Copies of this chain bind each other. A is one copy, B any other.
């Protein structure tokens, strides 16, 4: 630790710059914030979050009570960031560039910025794109959050994985052949963002003979949560984006 070479390798932060925090707020229940997330949000100089075209932010909704706790101390600056929900990467990249610029202005002014992330910041989230743009100039910290996977297991009381089992996570964006291979190879498979792909996922579950150990959940931990214990009862049409299948051998029903 007293090696001067090692010390010289530590990046020197701009003395007055704020810290960029990626803070997971969990899947929906405000009580599933961690104590650390709650504290950082309550004391944030700037609270940033993605919002949709309607000006709605799920992450800000989940964290509302924690923001209010801090509002008694001082009001944070709110920084809603509009992110087009589009598969055009150029459009998304431009939006991330602009957001990183706005965040960097606040950090340069010495303000800590807390970026609210649904679920966990580094698990299929937007925070990684912002961190990639800011980490070379600013100190970044990540506070993990409860992912929809752990919340889904808890809500349906289904063990995710035990002992020497293996576990894979895919999304509705994967091709049916990839889904099938994963269902055949792994004891537990979680298929996130089932949405439009629901008919193909149901077909893959049937083909792999794994309907009996599959559960379907949408909007986990939110007021409109829906759990379908037997996927053979599930309509084979498209569903909402925030939906998942949890396929677990150790959670198989008799």
Chain A positions near chain B (C-beta within 8 angstroms): 24, 26, 29-36, 38-39, 120-124, 128, 131, 135, 140, 142-147, 150-151, 153-155, 157-164, 166-171, 173-174, 178, 181-182, 185-186, 250
- Greatest chain B CB density within 10 A among A131, A145, A147, A154 is at A154
CA distance A124 to B159 in the complex (A): 8
Could you tell me if B168 and A164 are in contact, using CB atoms closer than 8 angstroms?
no
Could you tell me if A121 and B34 are in contact, using CB atoms closer than 8 angstroms?
no
Could you tell me if B168 and A167 are in contact, using CB atoms closer than 8 angstroms?
yes
Closest residue of B by beta carbon distance from A167: B169
Q: Cβ of A174: which chain B residues have Cβ within 8 Å of it?
A: 164, 166
Could you tell me if A142 and B135 are in contact, using CB atoms closer than 8 angstroms?
no
User: In angstroms, how far is the closest chain B Cβ from the Cβ of A80?
Assistant: 22
Report copies per complex: 2
Q: Mostly helix, strand, loop or mixed at chain A's interface?
A: mixed
Could you tell me if B124 and A161 are in contact, using CB atoms closer than 8 angstroms?
yes
Could you tell me if A154 and B121 are in contact, using CB atoms closer than 8 angstroms?
yes
Instruction: State which of B120, B124, B150, B166 has its C-beta within 8 Å of the C-beta of A145.
Output: B150
The 8 closest A-B pairs by CB, nearest first: A142-B154, A144-B150, A31-B36, A128-B159, A167-B169, A164-B173, A144-B154, A122-B153
Q: Cβ of A186: which chain B residues have Cβ within 8 Å of it?
A: 168
Could you tell me if B162 and A171 are in contact, using CB atoms closer than 8 angstroms?
no
CA distance A227 to B182 in the complex (A): 30
Could you tell me if A123 and B39 are in contact, using CB atoms closer than 8 angstroms?
no
Could you tell me if A33 and B34 are in contact, using CB atoms closer than 8 angstroms?
yes
Q: Cβ of A157: which chain B residues have Cβ within 8 Å of it?
A: 122, 131, 135, 140, 142
Closest residue of B by beta carbon distance from A148: B144
Could you tell me if B167 and A173 are in contact, using CB atoms closer than 8 angstroms?
no
User: In angstroms, how far is the closest chain B Cβ from the Cβ of A25?
Assistant: 11
